[in-house]
Structure 1
């Protein structure tokens, strides 16, 4: 329980960092995201979602290898308030559509853990 609380506090603290990055941008479609921006942003994402999007805890989803369109849709939903999560909303507020697409592209190209179906 203490570890979950600690992780939550760390993520909330990082929201301020990511919020300061995102505050430099608006929701417009004309804000490009360069490699430096993606690299800096993914360092923040790694605190919860793990290096390259492979979370080491079941509390946070693995985002590596997810479909780019799904990630774009989900991140925009957090940004626009259509999907509620205080931590994620703080992380993505102010991201432009181009930045969201660049972030989604990065994570969609990462290798996620292999999931195999089992017959029961």
Structure 2
């Protein structure tokens, strides 16, 4: 990969990381998806930053569970589906976009919710709390 491409991946990696950190403090912005994106961007640009994030004290465990088992914790699922539902209702009630656009957005959001719900909530063999 050429140097400008690596730099672009690194810039996006840090941007996603920063967004994920902000999401740790704002309840309406998720953290983990942005950290997953940052981890992927770092895998394309810097093994050092990838390893740092993958083994990070705070963010590392959820990234490791995702990478190893594609796990989305139950709390994250509930928050995600709740925010999708809330956003969908607001859009359907208050938006003036055409009906075909509302239908498209609704299908996209339903697909996202189905994807989140289709993933396990814990790694195989781990007991429920």
Pairwise same-fold verdict (TM > 0.5): no
Q: TM-score, normalised by structure 2?
A: 0.32
Larger radius of gyration: 2
* Greater RCO (CA < 8 Å, at least 6 residues apart): 1
Q: TM-score, normalised by structure 1?
A: 0.34
